[in-house]
């Protein structure tokens, strides 16, 4: 009996790798895994594709086969029947073509369109150094100037109004600086704010008038009721966003504070504002605010709405930022204390940057919500895009047109809101420091 | 020898209010309180001066006066002779009606979309993503007015249902009519009904005399509806009572089956018993009461009978549900994704089936993440229902904050009351949410 020791029953060498089966790689593999993994999946996929197809096969010809050159709905309908026959449904984009500028600017004088445009460009120039870190620091001067120049460009009037308004900040800052050094930082803060408020309430008007009498400088002024369309939405949205952000931070800090009175004031304010719908606050702006202000005060409706929109958004912002503050580990606060930083230094250098980073998604969705909510002003009869849709529909030329107008307005809002949410995702990725 | 002495007692100096952290907080608080009180006093003073100048007073007496306007949708009896207060209550009930309907629809739709967005199926998840992005990036007011415009322009008018060869027909066995004035649904009626029970009846009033002696003229019959604050249908109460009793019995049967299984190891088959005790008595009660469906019928210029769901209610409901569903979908998705994959893998390793993993392991944990933001979406939906005023649905904003405000010219009182009502709703809901949070919070250390 011989033993063949060289023969083994177990394979001793590795086999070369085989290519995966064709059905698991490439397009076929992807389709099998993602679309037809099971029978149920296959049925669902086919149903979904059918739904998507039937919607798109109607929508795409409707949108892209629409007519841009028609001056009334009847003319447009006649053209559609002439070209496509009775059975076809196409959009009448002529209404957008004809009324585009009104949807954008409302009744704003046509020869002054450059002013809102310039304001918007300045605004982006001012926002740029804040949004993107890699720009020259000098641009921050534009950011400081925009809040004063942009309203002046929009409403026009004397050049001394924005200048004196800016001087209020200068006065407040000087008082703050002087008192802080001479007596105490806390007293400096209080007196600084107080002196700025006194300047704006009592001194700004007379000083501005006096300067205007000495050196009359100004541009054509535009009344608030001529503002309209997307310009109004953007104006309300941007002021609401920029003003509600710092206000929200202050409210959030107040709510986290261990000073019981400050805390309960902030909690009361936030819960009250968050508990009522924006529309009731707009009612306050349109019919009630006159009761709360000194007799005879004339207060611009846009300004009133801006104030209400701002405090509305600030309450929501405060809650978002409070979430960020609560998510910070306690060690961060303790570390700031250990370094000997005072409250504001700790907030500015350690707490806020981290808390804000955590709350970016919430902050941006508050912004988006605020921008969408600006449409509510149509209910108190301000000429925002939705109100304009109604104006145009009541015109005999375009009586009965629905989808094109609403579709266009929805599309513009979608573009704005969608890009804001994409920007927030970009920002989150950029500031990502975890692993 | 050394002696331990107390550190020298500092005497209080005025500057310590600013420099000493122990006192500084008090200073800040006092300044804040003073500032707040000054501001409030200034505002109230302005209000008093302005009201005096306009020759108005601040009182809610007008709520008792006759309203003088009609409300097209009402859940309790109301006519133009009713008070402004009653108009506000009718409005509030309409608000709550659309809010509850919206919350239910939005939850169902939102959960489905959220789960579909997590689907491994590429087409389905993309479709769900498109839905979410489209719906939530366009203002809700636009959706409301768009759907309102679509229903009133695209749907057939009641006159299209007339004739031998009508342009439109009723859906689902001729029971539902979809028109540009709204949807008409069959209405549950009882041929041998037990009638209504007035709540807080004032038996001296004319309305109640008409109610308790129903053999009157049609005018007094109409009046009878106003007996008491509102009236409860006894039929509905009877059905609910029987149904609840059935459910409790079914629960008892289950407990008994559990006990038998525990003792002997054999579980008796009880499902038909449990079904029977729930449904048979209920059906019997329905039969005794003479339950039948009242179908809407075309009479004159419009449909009569049945439940009329106005197109304003429909538009508001559909738009709010679709819009809120997009947000709920994201919440559901985030909640499910927040549960680490190890949890379901561990459950699978224990030998649990897919649906048991979902219901026993993933969902209970995900709910903890989902429910708080879900409830704030419900709140948002309720607050957004105030946009009803844009489509003429008579909710509380439309009655109290709309017509009552315009007719009485009492802006201050009505708007404050309106805010107060919404505030009460919000605070109630959020305290419920806080209670839930406390109960389900992870117990740590």
pLDDT digits (tens, 9 = 90+) for A89-130: 788 888 888 888 888 998 888 888 889 889 888 888 887 777
* pLDDT of amino acid B9: 64
- CB of B272 within 8 Å of a chain A CB? The answer is no
- CB of A136 within 8 Å of a chain B CB? The answer is no
Residues in Cβ contact with B84 at an 8 Å cutoff, skipping those fewer than 6 apart: B62, B63, B64, B65, B66, B67, B400, B404, B408
pLDDT digits 0-9 by tens, A124-172: 888 777 777 666 777 778 888 888 888 888 888 888 888 888 888 888 9
- For A:272-331, CB contacts with B below 8 A are 272, 274-280, 283-284, 287-288, 290-295
Chain B residues with CB-CB distance to A103 below 8 A: none
CA distance B213 to B223: 11
Under the banding of pLDDT at 50, 70 and 90, the label for residue B119 is confident
CA distance A114 to A8: 90
Beta bridge partners of B183: B178, B309
Residue A85 reports pLDDT greater than 80: no
CB contact under 8 A, B139 and A373: yes
Under the banding of pLDDT at 50, 70 and 90, the label for residue B144 is very high
- CB of B443 within 8 Å of a chain A CB? The answer is no
Considering only CB atoms, A414 lies closest to which of B53, B134, B384, namely: B134
Under the banding of pLDDT at 50, 70 and 90, the label for residue A3 is low
- CB of B50 within 8 Å of a chain A CB? The answer is yes
**Which token pair is B308?**
């009329």
Residues in Cβ contact with A218 at an 8 Å cutoff, skipping those fewer than 6 apart: A156, A157, A158, A159, A212
* pLDDT of amino acid A92: 85
Residues in Cβ contact with B243 at an 8 Å cutoff, skipping those fewer than 6 apart: B278, B282
* pLDDT of amino acid A2: 52
More confident residue, A9 or B378: B378
Backbone angles phi, psi at A185, to 5 degrees: -60, -40
Burial code (b: 16+ CB inside 10 Å, e: under 16) for A2-23 equals eeeeeeeeeeeeeeeeeeeeee
* pLDDT of amino acid A110: 86
- For B:416-435, CB contacts with A below 8 A are 418-419, 422-423, 425-427
CA distance A403 to B150: 8
Distance from CA of A416 to the nearest CA of B (A): 8
Helix (H) / strand (E) element for B437: namely helix B411-440
Q: Which chain B residue's Cα is nearest to A49?
A: B123
Backbone angles phi, psi at B228, to 5 degrees: 80, 170
Which of A142-146, A256-260, A308-312, B42-46 has the lowest average pLDDT?
Answer: A142-146
Considering only CB atoms, B120 lies closest to which of A37, A275, A288, namely: A37
CB contact under 8 A, A35 and B121: yes
- To the nearest whole percent, how much of chain B has pLDDT over 90? 31
Distance from CA of B424 to the nearest CA of A (A): 8
Torsion, Cα B105 B108 B109 B111, to 10 degrees, reads 150
* pLDDT of amino acid B296: 81
* pLDDT of amino acid B112: 92
State the Rg of chain A over Cα: 30
Residue from B141, B150, B391, B412 whose CB has the most chain A CBs within 10 Å, to mutate: B141
* pLDDT of amino acid A342: 82
By the 8 A CB rule, do B97 and B395 touch? Answer: no
Residue from A237, A402, A405, A411 whose CB has the most chain B CBs within 10 Å, to mutate: A402
Q: Is A218 helix (H, G, I), strand (E, B) or coil?
A: strand
**Most confident listed range (A131-135, B115-119, B141-145, B284-288):** B141-145
- Alpha helix segments (H runs only) across B162-265: 171-174, 206-212, 218-223, 234-264
Residues in Cβ contact with A68 at an 8 Å cutoff, skipping those fewer than 6 apart: A93, A94, A96, A97
- CB of B141 within 8 Å of a chain A CB? The answer is yes
Q: Does domain B87-153+309-444 have CATH number 1.10.3720.10?
A: yes
CA distance B119 to A53: 20
pLDDT digits 0-9 by tens, A402-424: 888 899 999 999 999 999 999 88
Residue B351 reports pLDDT greater than 60: yes
Place of tokens 């919607």: A55
CB contact under 8 A, A406 and B18: no
What is the DSSP secondary structure assignment for residue B158, as one 8-state letter? G
First to last CA, chain B: 49
CA distance B148 to B315: 5
Strand order in the sheet with B182-185: B177-179, B182-185, B307-310
Residue from A372, A391, A404, A411 whose CB has the most chain B CBs within 10 Å, to mutate: A372
CA distance B192 to B172: 27
Burial grade of A29 (CB within 10 A; 0-12, 13-18, 19 or more): middle
- CB of A193 within 8 Å of a chain B CB? The answer is no
Average pLDDT value for chain B: 85
CA distance A168 to A174: 10
By the 8 A CB rule, do B207 and B214 touch? Answer: no
CA distance B243 to B285: 10
Chain A residues with CB-CB distance to B141 below 8 A: 375-376, 378-379, 386
Chain A residues with CB-CB distance to B139 below 8 A: 372-373, 375, 386, 413
Q: How many residue contacts between A and B have a Cβ separation below 8 Å?
A: 157
CA distance B394 to B74: 9
Closest to B94 measured CA to CA, from B306, B313, B308, B311? B313
CB contact under 8 A, A262 and B137: no
* pLDDT of amino acid B8: 63
Chain B residues with CB-CB distance to A377 below 8 A: none
Helix (H) / strand (E) element for A365: namely helix A360-373
Considering only CB atoms, B422 lies closest to which of A277, A294, A375, namely: A277
- Alpha helix segments (H runs only) across A276-300: 278-283, 289-292
CA distance A64 to B134: 19
By the 8 A CB rule, do A153 and A118 touch? Answer: yes
pLDDT digits 0-9 by tens, B308-334: 888 899 999 999 999 999 999 999 999
Closest to B142 measured CA to CA, from A415, A367, A389? A389
* pLDDT of amino acid A434: 67
Residue B153 reports pLDDT greater than 90: no
CB contact under 8 A, B121 and A277: no
Which of A30-34, B48-52, B164-168 has the lowest average pLDDT?
Answer: B164-168
CB contact under 8 A, B142 and A410: yes
* pLDDT of amino acid B216: 66
By the 8 A CB rule, do B362 and B344 touch? Answer: yes
CA distance B146 to B152: 10
By the 8 A CB rule, do B414 and B405 touch? Answer: yes
Residue A32 reports pLDDT greater than 90: no
- CB of A180 within 8 Å of a chain B CB? The answer is no
CB contact under 8 A, A48 and B121: yes
Residue from B92, B137, B152, B408 whose CB has the most chain A CBs within 10 Å, to mutate: B137
Residues in Cβ contact with B281 at an 8 Å cutoff, skipping those fewer than 6 apart: B242, B245, B246
By the 8 A CB rule, do A334 and A265 touch? Answer: no
- CB of B445 within 8 Å of a chain A CB? The answer is no
CA distance A358 to A323: 9
pLDDT digits 0-9 by tens, B171-184: 767 778 888 888 88
Q: Around B124, how many Cα atoms within 13 Å sit in the side-chain half-sphere? A: 22
| DSSP per residue, A92-156 | BTHHHHHHHHHHHHBT--GGGTHHHHHHHHHHHHHHHHHH-TTS-GGGHHHHHHHHHHHHHHHH-
Residue from B43, B118, B139, B377 whose CB has the most chain A CBs within 10 Å, to mutate: B139
* pLDDT of amino acid B350: 93
pLDDT (mean) for B65-85: 84
Beta-carbon count within 10 A of B410 CB = 22
Considering only CB atoms, B46 lies closest to which of A51, A276, A292, namely: A292
Considering only CB atoms, B50 lies closest to which of A184, A295, A418, namely: A295
Q: Is B163 helix (H, G, I), strand (E, B) or coil?
A: coil
Chain B residues with CB-CB distance to A409 below 8 A: 142
Backbone angles phi, psi at B293, to 5 degrees: -100, 130
- CB of B415 within 8 Å of a chain A CB? The answer is yes
**Which token pair is B190?**
């009882």
CB contact under 8 A, B146 and A48: no
Chain A residues with CB-CB distance to B138 below 8 A: 372, 410, 413-414, 417
- For A:348-387, CB contacts with B below 8 A are 368, 372-373, 375-376, 378-379, 386
pLDDT digits 0-9 by tens, A342-397: 888 888 888 888 888 888 888 898 999 999 999 999 988 888 899 899 888 888 88
What is the DSSP secondary structure assignment for residue B360, as one 8-state letter? I
- CB of B51 within 8 Å of a chain A CB? The answer is yes
- To the nearest whole percent, how much of chain B has pLDDT over 70? 93
- CB of B115 within 8 Å of a chain A CB? The answer is no
By the 8 A CB rule, do B387 and B147 touch? Answer: no
- For A:51-80, CB contacts with B below 8 A are 51-52
pTM here is 0.87
User: What's the Cα-to-Cα distance from A316 to each of A364, B384, B426, rounded to whole Å?
Assistant: 11, 15, 14
Closest to A306 measured CA to CA, from A233, A412, A364? A233
Place of tokens 């609403």: A406
Closest to B422 measured CA to CA, from B154, B3, B129, B91? B91
What is the DSSP secondary structure assignment for residue A223, as one 8-state letter? -
By the 8 A CB rule, do B415 and B401 touch? Answer: yes
Give the rounded distance of the alpha carbon of B181 from its chain centre: 24
* pLDDT of amino acid B105: 96
CA distance A274 to A268: 10
User: What's the Cα-to-Cα distance from A385 to each of A110, A155, B53, rounded to whole Å?
Assistant: 17, 20, 37
pLDDT (mean) for B357-385: 88
User: What's the Cα-to-Cα distance from A158 to each of A112, A187, A211, A212, A231, rounded to whole Å?
Assistant: 16, 35, 10, 7, 22
CB contact under 8 A, B149 and A406: yes
CA distance B242 to B252: 15
């Amino acid at each position: 009996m011989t033993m063949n020791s060289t023969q083994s029953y177990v394979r001793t060498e590795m086999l070369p790798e085989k290519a995966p089966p064709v059905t698991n790689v490439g397009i076929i593999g992807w389709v099998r895994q993602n679309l037809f993994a099971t029978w149920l999946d296959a049925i669902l996929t086919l149903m979904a594709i059918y739904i998507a197809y039937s919607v798109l096969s109607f929508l795409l010809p409707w949108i892209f086969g629409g007519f841009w050159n028609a001056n009334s709905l009847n003319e447009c309908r006649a053209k559609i029947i002439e070209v496509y026959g009775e059975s076809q449904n196409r959009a009448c984009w002529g209404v957008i073509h004809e009324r585009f500028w009104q949807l954008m600017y409302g009744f704003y004088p046509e020869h002054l369109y450059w002013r809102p445009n310039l304001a918007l460009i300045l605004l982006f120039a001012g926002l740029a150094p804040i949004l993107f870190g890699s720009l020259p620091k000098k641009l921050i001067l534009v950011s400081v100037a925009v809040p004063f120049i942009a309203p002046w460009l929009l409403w026009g009037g004397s050049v001394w109004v924005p200048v004196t308004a800016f001087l209020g900040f200068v006065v407040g800052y000087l008082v703050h600086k002087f008192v802080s050094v001479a007596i105490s930082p806390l007293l400096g803060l209080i007196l600084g704010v107080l002196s700025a408020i006194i300047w704006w309430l009592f001194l700004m008007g007379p000083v501005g008038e006096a300067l205007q009498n000495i050196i009359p400088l100004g541009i054509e002024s535009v009344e608030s009721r001529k503002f309209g369309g997307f310009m109004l939405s953007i104006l309300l949205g941007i002021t609401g966003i920029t003003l509600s952000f710092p206000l929200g931070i202050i409210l959030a800090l107040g709510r986290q504070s261990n000073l019981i009175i400050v805390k309960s004031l902030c909690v009361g304010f936030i819960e009250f504002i968050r508990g009522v719908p924006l529309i009731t606050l707009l009612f306050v702006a349109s019919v009630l605010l006159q009761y709360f202000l000194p007799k005879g005060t004339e207060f611009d409706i846009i300004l009133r709405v801006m104030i209400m929109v701002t405090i509305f958004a600030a309450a929501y912002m405060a809650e978002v930022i409070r979430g960020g503050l609560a998510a910070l580990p306690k060690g961060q606060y303790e570390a700031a204390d250990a370094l000997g930083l005072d409250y504001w230094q700790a907030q500015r250098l350690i707490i806020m940057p981290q808390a804000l980073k955590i709350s970016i998604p919430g902050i941006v969705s508050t912004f988006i919500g605020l921008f969408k909510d600006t449409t509510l002003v149509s209910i108190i009869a301000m000429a925002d895009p939705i109100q304009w849709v109604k104006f145009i529909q009541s015109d005999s030329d375009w009586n009965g047109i629905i989808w094109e107008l609403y579709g266009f307005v929805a599309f513009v809002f979608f573009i704005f809101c969608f890009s804001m949410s994409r920007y927030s995702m970009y920002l989150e990725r950029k500031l990502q420091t975890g692993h | 020898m050394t002696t331990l002495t107390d550190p020298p007692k500092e005497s209080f100096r005025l500057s310590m209010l600013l420099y000493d952290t122990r006192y500084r907080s008090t200073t800040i608080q006092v300044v804040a309180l003073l500032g707040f009180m000054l501001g409030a006093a200034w505002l109230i003073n302005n209000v008093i001066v302005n009201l005096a100048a306009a020759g108005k007073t601040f009182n809610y007496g007008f709520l008792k006066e006759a309203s003088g306007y009609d409300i097209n949708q009402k859940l309790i009896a109301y006519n133009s002779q009713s008070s402004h207060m009653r108009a506000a209550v009718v409005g509030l009930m309409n608000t709550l009606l659309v809010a509850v309907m919206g919350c239910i629809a939005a939850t169902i739709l939102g959960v489905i979309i959220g789960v579909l967005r997590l689907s491994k199926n590429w087409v389905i998840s993309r479709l769900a993503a498109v839905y979410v992005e489209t719906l939530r990036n366009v203002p809700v007011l636009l959706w409301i007015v768009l759907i309102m415009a679509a229903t009133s322009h695209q749907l057939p008018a009641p006159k299209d249902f007339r004739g031998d060869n009508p342009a439109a027909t009723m859906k689902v066995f001729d029971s539902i009519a979809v028109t540009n004035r709204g949807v008409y649904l069959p209405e549950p009626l009882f041929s041998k009904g037990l009638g209504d029970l007035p709540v807080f009846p004032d038996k001296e009033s004319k309305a109640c005399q008409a109610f308790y002696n129903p053999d009157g003229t049609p005018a007094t019959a109409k009046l009878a509806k106003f007996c008491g604050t509102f009236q409860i249908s006894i039929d509905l109460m009877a059905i609910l009572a029987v149904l609840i009793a059935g459910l409790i019995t079914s629960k008892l049967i289950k407990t008994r089956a559990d006990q038998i299984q525990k003792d002997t190891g054999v579980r008796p088959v009880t499902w038909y018993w449990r079904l029977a005790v729930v449904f048979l008595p209920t059906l019997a009660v329905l039969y005794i009461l003479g339950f039948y469906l009242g179908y809407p019928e075309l009479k004159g210029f419009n449909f009569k009978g049945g439940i009329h769901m106005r197109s304003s209610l429909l538009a508001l409901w559909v738009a709010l549900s679709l819009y809120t569903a997009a947000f709920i979908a994201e919440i559901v998705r985030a909640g499910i994704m927040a549960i680490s994959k190890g949890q379901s893998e561990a459950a699978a390793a224990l030998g649990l089936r897919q649906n048991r993993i979902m219901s026993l392991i993933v969902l209970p944990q995900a709910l903890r993440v989902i429910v708080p933001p879900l409830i704030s979406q419900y709140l948002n939906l309720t607050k957004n229902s105030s946009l009803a005023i844009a489509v003429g649905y008579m909710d509380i904003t439309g009655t109290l904050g709309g017509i009552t405000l315009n007719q009485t010219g009492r802006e201050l009182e009505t708007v404050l009351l309106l805010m107060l009502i919404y505030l009460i709703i919000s605070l109630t809901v959020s305290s419920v949410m806080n209670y839930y949070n406390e109960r389900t919070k992870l117990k740590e250390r």
